[in-house]
Chain A
Amino acid sequence: MSLLIDGLSAIFLLAGGFLCITGGVGLLRMPDFFSRVHAAGVTETLAAPLLLFGLLLQMEWSLDMLKVLMILIFVLATNPTATHAMAKATLTGGQKPLVADDAETRGEDASNS
């Protein structure tokens, strides 16, 4: 049983770590603001809770476990809000997301944002 929990926690931690790395790569390489914000959002909202959940499985039932659970809930509540706020503010500011047919014409014009 504890082997199962250890294995599950290992899977969660590795998945969270992998998603953090891909989120970082996406932040640097994505062509448009909205796709970058999505990459950052994935790191915040999926990778961080996965890491926290993996850590949670390693702990015994105690007050610390309750605190980590509360941190998990707060992270799940605040990070998508921040991502949404950034994206909405940009949209209100006038920047439009890069769509596939725009990308082709932009690629032909050899311009970059």
Chain B
Amino acid sequence: MLIAIVAIRMRDLFGVVILFGVYSLLTAVLFMDLDAVDVAFTEAAVGAGVTTVLLLSSLRLTRRWEAPPKHNPLLSLLVVGVTGAALVYATLDAPLLGDPNAPVHKHVTPHYIQRAAEEIGMPNMVTAVLASYRGYDTFGETLVVFTAGLAVLLLLGIPELPKSRPHSSAIDDQVVLKVVVKLLIPLILLYALYVQFHGDFGAGGGFQAGVIFATGFILYEMVFGANNAHAVMPPAWLPRLAALGVLIYGGVGLVSMMAGKPFLDYSALSGDPVHGQHLGVLLVELGVGITVFSIVLLIFYALSGRKRQP
């Protein structure tokens, strides 16, 4: 809470962005304490990792310092106070923290908890609900991520890089950094693959894996320069990979329809329905992971390749 107040008052935007990263990390720790391991994982990777990097990349293109405030904050504080009071009044009827009689624990949740292990065959209930019971929503989310990538591509575009002379970047004499990063990147990518395929059993899944995989490439671009990064993962591939991920997801649904079952009903994929669920969740998470990875990397390429206008 204090971090939120300080982030409001600071005028150095670099400090505000870093504080926002710390705030995201603290939220992730709070989620761990509230038994939400998958969510904590995603919040730490996405909020404290990717969002900070994207905000810093855009700070490079705009100004670091904020102009002094020109308006009297009194009216804003009044509006905020009235809204806050109304919301607090609304929460007086809300169920208490951890109450077993709360509505959330009564209706669909016991069904999911009891049936997830038998019907889907995987211990991680969150992945079971995400990919199978609520697979339609996840498809929509993948499409949203894809559309966001398209929007950034339309707004910014990825420019052709001029050939840079070797040994001309400012980070060139950082030998220790380069060696350690070279050793770490394969491990980061391996860990991302582990998270992707282990998402059925522990915390993990397609989103976290896609983000971590993209982080490996982002680290490579930050340390070794954009030319090397574009040589390793050409930006022309990224929209196609994103489309491939969405196609995999939709394709699994269409295959189910061709077998006579509803869209995204995985039990149509194999003779044994539980085996079909496994296969369906695997393919679907793969599609999600590919799309998230390529879109995050695409956005980073677009923001970091933009020339700073004077």
Contacts and interface: CB of A to CB of B under 8 A. Distances in A.
| Physical contact A–B (CB less than 8 Å) | yes
A85 B174 contact: yes
Contacts of B183: 77
A20 B171 CA distance: 30
Q: Which of A81, A84, A92 has the most CB of B within 10 A?
A: A81
B161 interface: no
- A-B CB proximity, top 10 nearest: A81-B180, A85-B177, A84-B176, A85-B174, A81-B177, A81-B176, A88-B174, A77-B180, A92-B173, A78-B184
Interface string B214-227: 00000000000000
10 contacts: A74-B184, A74-B187, A78-B180, A78-B184, A81-B177, A88-B173, A88-B177, A89-B171, A89-B174, A92-B173
Given A81-B176, A89-B170, 14 more contacts: A74-B184, A74-B187, A77-B183, A77-B184, A78-B184, A81-B180, A84-B176, A85-B174, A85-B177, A88-B173, A88-B174, A88-B176, A88-B177, A92-B170
Q: How large is the interface on B (under 10, 10 to 19, 20 to 34, 35 or more residues)?
A: 10 to 19
Nearest to B180: A81
Interface string A81-111: 1001100110010000000000000000000
Contacts of A84: 176-177
Interface of B: 170-171, 173-174, 176-177, 180-181, 183-184, 187
Contacts of A88: 173-174, 176-177
A77 B177 CA distance: 11
Nearest to B171: A89
B105 to A, nearest CB: 28
Max chain A C-beta neighbours (<10 A), residue from B170, B171, B177, B183: B177
Nearest to B183: A77
Interface string A39-79: 00000000000000000000000000000000000100110
A79 to B, nearest CB: 10
Given A77-B184, A78-B184, A85 B176 contact: yes
A77 B184 CA distance: 9
Nearest to B170: A92
A81 B178 CA distance: 9
A88 to B, nearest CB: 6
A81 B180 CA distance: 7
A77 to B, nearest CB: 6
A88 B171 CA distance: 10
Contacts of B181: 81
B115 to A, nearest CB: 27
Contacts of B187: 74
A92 B171 CA distance: 10
Contacts of A77: 180, 183-184
Contacts of A81: 176-177, 180-181
A78 B187 CA distance: 12
